Structure 1
Amino acid sequence: MRRTRSNSHRATASASSSASTAKEGNPAARQHHPLLDTINESTKWTVSAAVFTTLAARRDLICAWWVFGSILAAVLCRALKFALNEARPSTARKADPGMPSSHANSLGFLAMFVSIWAANTGTAAAGTAAVSLSTISSINNSPMVFFLSLGIPALGLFLTWLRVALGYHTVEQVAAGWLLGSSIAVGWWQLGIKKAFPILVQRTELQFALYSVTTELPAHLSRQTTKAISVSVRSSVMTSSPPLPRRYLGQTGLEVSVLGFGASPLGGVFQAIDESEGIASVQAAFNRGINFFDTSPFYGDTKSETVLGKGLKLLPRDQIIVATKIGRYGQNTFDFSAEKVNASIEESLTRLQLDYVDLLQCHDIEFASLDQIIEETLPALLKLKERGVVRNIGITGLPLKIYKYILDRVSIGTVDVVLSYCHHHLSDSTLETDLISYLKGKKVGIINASPLCMGLFTPQGPPEWHPAPPELKAAAAAAAAAAEAAGASLPKLALMHCLQNEDISTTLVGLCTAAQVNENCDAALHALGVVESPTAAEEKKAMEHVVELLKPCMNLTWPSGLPENN
C-alpha cells in the first residue's frame, strides 16, 4: 500500500524552506530526536515567516516576481515528487535516492535569490528594466542585506544537514534538491530581466495581477497583522536610513512626509525621461518614506499623471496621499468652469488609476478671474467633495495676494490647502513673513513647492525661460560657485533651508529617478538632524556665505498671471 503522509510539511508561499514528507528518505534510517525535531520544524517556519514578511512588506515588482517564483519552484518540486513516487504502482520500489528533496529545493532557490538580490546594485545588470532594480539600491547599504546573504543560506545548510541526520533525506536527495532550486532561481531571474520585466513595465494590468497574487491575497487573509509587520519591516529592515518625518497638513487630518514627490518631471517637463525609470522612482520614494505625490494634467500634457498612475498602482492606496489639479491644461490654456472641473477630475482619475484623490487643487488661479474661482470653481469642487471623489480642496499660484483675496471671501473649510511656490527659498521669505500666520488663522494647510526656485539654485543655473530678474540670476550663480568652493551643494543647501519651518507641512521636489529620490531624502534627513551629514561643517560655512551673497536680492520676484492679480 502507499504510504500515508504524517507530519506533512507544506511548502510556504515565500522563497523559503519547503519541507518534505516525514518518510521521504530511507524509513529505516529515520531517527527520532524530539529536541532536534522541534528545532527543525520551528526554525523552518521562522525562516519562512521572516522571508515571506520581508517580501510581502516590500510591495514592489521585483519582490512580487520572486515570491511568484518561489511558489512556482515549490509547486514544480512537489509535482516532480508526485511523478516519481506517488504515481508509481503501490508494488513498485520507490526511487528514493534520486528523488530531489523539496526542502532543499526551496532552500536552494532562497539561497540563490538572496545572493542575486544582495549582489545587485541600482546600476547593475545592464539592460535590466529600471523598475526591477531601483528599489534594490535603497537596501544595499543595509546590514540586513549582509545578514540575509550569509545568515539564511547558512541556516539553510544547517537545516539540510539536520534533516539528513534525522533520516528525512539522503545526501543524494538534498544535493539534487539544492541543484534544482538554485537552477530554477537563476532561470527565473534571467526570465524576469530579459522577458518579463520589459513587458510588465508597459502592462500595468499584468503588474497588478502579479502583485495581487503575491502580496494582496496573503495580506487579505490577515490584513491588520500584515500592515503592522509591513510598517515595522519597512522602517527597520528595508532601508539603511530612517523614514522621513511627517507633519499634519492643516486641518485635513492627513499626515504627509516633509518631502513630497513633485511629479512634473515625470511628464518630461524639464527633459525626456524613461517611463520605466519614472515608475521605479515612485516606488523608491515610497520605500524611503515619501507618501505625498503631487501632479497635474498640465505636466507633460497629461503624461505626468499617466506615469505616476502606473507607479502608484503597485503601492497600497491607504498609505499614500495623492494630489492633482484642475484649471490649467497648457502653457496658455486655462478653464476653471464647473463643467470642465467635472470632466477633468474623471480624466485624471482614469490616468492615475484611482477612485478618488486626497487633494484636488485649482492650478495657477492668477491666470483666471478670482471671482470665477469663488463663484463657480470652488462650488463645483465642494460637490465633488460631497461625492467622495475629492477628499480635500486646494488652490495654487505664484502671487501671494491671490490667497487672501479668495480666503477672505469664502467660509473657513472651503479651501483646505494652499500650494505656494518660489516664495520660500534661499532668496525669498515672503511666505513666512506675509502669509503663514494668516493661513493658520484660516485653518489652511501649507505646501511649499520649488525649493530650487525652478532651477535657479542649481550648479548649471536656470533654464533660459526663467522669469527671475537678471540681478537675482547673477546672485544665484555666485552662490552656486561659493557653495562648490566650500565643498557643499547649493541644491542641498536650498532644500535644507526650506525644511526648517514646521508650519510648512511638506516641500515638493521634482523627482523622476531613484537616484534623485535617495539624494533628496538623504538631504532632508540631514536638514532635520535625523541623520548627521558627513559634510555638516562645510555646509554650515557655505550656507553663511550663500545667504550673504543673496541678501541684496532678497524677496525679488516676478509677475505671473493677470495684471490685477499681482
Structure 2
Amino acid sequence: MMGQLGFGGGPLGGLFEPLDDATAAEALAAAWDGGIRYYDTSPHYGIGHSERRMGELLRDKPRDEFVVSTKVGRLLVPQDPQGRRDETFHVPATHRRVWDFSRDGVRRSLEDSLVRMGLDRIDVLYLHDAEQHFDDALRLGYPALAELRAEGVVSAIGAGMYDVGQLTTLVRETDVDVVMLAGGYTLLQQPALDTFLPACVERNVSVVAAGVFNSGILATHRPDANAKFDYRTATPEILARAHRIATICEAHNVTVPQAALAFPLLHPAITSIVLGMRNRTEVEQNLANFNTPVPPELWTALRTEGLLDDPQIASNA
C-alpha cells in the first residue's frame, strides 16, 4: 500500500534551486518520522541525485515497510561537466540524458537506479514524461515493463505524465496498475474528469495525483503576482481564480494548501498524492496541512461559485 501521502523526489535533485545533502537528509527523515511510507523519484531528477539521496534513507529501513517508485525513459550517460550546470536542476552537468524506451533501455535504466539507490528492488516502475515519445513508450516501453512485472522484478507498472489524453489511451489499451497524473486534477483545474478518471475507474487503475499545488500557486493561501502556475508565472485570470478560492476557504476556516491537499483524494480513482519537498520545514508544514480536516461544505460552496467542475464532490465529500 502506498499510503495517501507520498514524498515526491523532484526537489531532492535540486529543482529550481540548489539543495545540499544534509538538508535533503533532514527532509527525508522528517517524512519518515511523520509516517510517510511512499517515496517517488526518477533518474531525471538531478541526473541521479534524487535517487541517491532517497536511497540513503531507505536502504536502512525495513524493506517491507515502504513503497518506492522510480521511472524509465531517460538513460544517464556520463560526461565532463566542464563547469556547466545541468539544464533543469541545480547540479553539475556530470551526465546527459538520452531518451530510450526500448526493452534494453528500460532494463538498463532500472539496473542503474537500483545501484544509485542501493536497494534490492523497486516496487513501482513508471514510464516517464513520454508525451513527445508516446509511440515508443506504448509500443516498446510498456511491453518491457509488463515483462518485468511478469518476472516478479517489480510489483506494479504504469506511467507518470501530464497529458491526460495520452494517459487515457494508455489506460484503455494496456494493463497498467497505476498512473501518476501531473497537475491534471487540482483545486484550480480538473481536465482529467472528462475521460481519464472515468477510464481509470472502469479499468480499475489506481491514480497518484502529482503537482497538486500547480507548481506553487496553491502552496500559499494568498499567492502574489509572481506565483507559478504549471512552471510559468500565473496569468492574472488564474491568479484571480486562486484568490476567489482563498476567499471561500477563509469562510470555512480552511487554507488553500489544506484544501488543495484534500481535494484530489475525494475522487474514487485517486489513491495517493505526492508532494515534492526539499527541507524539514516544508515536510512538517505539509503533514500538518494534510492532516487538517476540511469540511464537506467547502466543496459545495466552491461548486456553487463555479470554481469546481467535479460532479462527484457532493456524493464523496
TM-score bracket, shorter-length normalisation: 0.7 to 0.9
Structure 1 equivalent of residue 185 of structure 2 = 424
Matches within 5 A, 1:105-504: 255-328=1-74, 334-368=99-133, 370-410=134-174, 414-457=175-218, 458=220, 459-460=223-224, 461-463=226-228, 466-467=231-232, 470-476=235-241, 478-479=243-244, 482=247, 489-504=255-270
2:152 aligned partner, one-letter code: G
Cα distance in 2, alignment partners of residues 527 and 502 from structure 1: 18
Secondary structure of the structure 1 residue equivalent to 2:214: coil
Secondary structure of the structure 2 residue equivalent to 1:324: strand
Matches within 5 A, 1:506-545: 506-527=272-293
Structure 2 equivalent of residue 22 of structure 1 = none
Q: 1:523 to 1:273 in 2, by over 3 A?
A: same
Work out whether residues 323 and 360 of structure 1, in 8 Å CA contact, stay in contact via their aligned partners in 2.
yes
Work out whether residues 201 and 268 of structure 2, in 8 Å CA contact, stay in contact via their aligned partners in 1.
no
Q: How far 1:404 sits from its partner (Å)?
A: 2.7
Cα distance in 2, alignment partners of residues 525 and 442 from structure 1: 30
Work out whether residues 258 and 292 of structure 2, in 8 Å CA contact, stay in contact via their aligned partners in 1.
no
- TM-score, normalised by the number of residues in structure 2: 0.78
Match of 1:505 among 271, 294, 311: 271
Q: How far 1:337 sits from its partner (Å)?
A: 2.2
Cα distance in 1, alignment partners of residues 229 and 267 from structure 2: 31
Q: How far 1:267 sits from its partner (Å)?
A: 1.0
Matched pairs, number = 286
Q: How far 1:407 sits from its partner (Å)?
A: 3.3
Secondary structure of the structure 2 residue equivalent to 1:437: helix
Q: How far 1:362 sits from its partner (Å)?
A: 0.3
1:281 aligned partner, one-letter code: A
Unaligned runs of 5+ in 1: 1-254, 529-535, 556-566
Q: 1:396 to 1:325 in 2, by over 3 A?
A: same
Q: How far 1:318 sits from its partner (Å)?
A: 0.5
Q: How far 1:355 sits from its partner (Å)?
A: 1.1
Secondary structure of the structure 1 residue equivalent to 2:291: helix
Q: How far 1:311 sits from its partner (Å)?
A: 1.3
Work out whether residues 482 and 546 of structure 1, in 8 Å CA contact, stay in contact via their aligned partners in 2.
no
Q: How far 1:296 sits from its partner (Å)?
A: 0.6
Cα distance in 2, alignment partners of residues 375 and 485 from structure 1: 48
Q: How far 1:299 sits from its partner (Å)?
A: 1.0
1:519 aligned partner, one-letter code: Q
Cα distance in 1, alignment partners of residues 107 and 208 from structure 2: 24
Unaligned runs of 5+ in 2: 76-86, 89-96, 311-317
- Aligned-residue Cα RMSD (Å) equals 3.1
Work out whether residues 479 and 490 of structure 1, in 8 Å CA contact, stay in contact via their aligned partners in 2.
no
2:30 aligned partner, one-letter code: A
Cα distance in 2, alignment partners of residues 483 and 489 from structure 1: 9
1:383 aligned partner, one-letter code: E
Q: 1:392 to 1:364 in 2, by over 3 A?
A: same
- Of Structure 1 and Structure 2, which has the larger fraction of its residues in helix? 1
Q: How far 1:280 sits from its partner (Å)?
A: 2.5
1:441 aligned partner, one-letter code: E
Work out whether residues 74 and 98 of structure 2, in 8 Å CA contact, stay in contact via their aligned partners in 1.
yes
Q: How far 1:547 sits from its partner (Å)?
A: 6.8
Q: How far 1:494 sits from its partner (Å)?
A: 1.3
Q: 1:350 to 1:494 in 2, by over 3 A?
A: same
Cα distance in 2, alignment partners of residues 284 and 267 from structure 1: 18
Structure 2 equivalent of residue 207 of structure 1 = none
Q: 1:506 to 1:423 in 2, by over 3 A?
A: same
Cα distance in 2, alignment partners of residues 409 and 341 from structure 1: 20
Cα shift readout 1:310-360 (whole Å, capped 9, x = no counterpart)? 111222111000000011467685322222212111111111111110001
1:297 aligned partner, one-letter code: P
- Of Structure 1 and Structure 2, which has the larger fraction of its residues in strand? 2
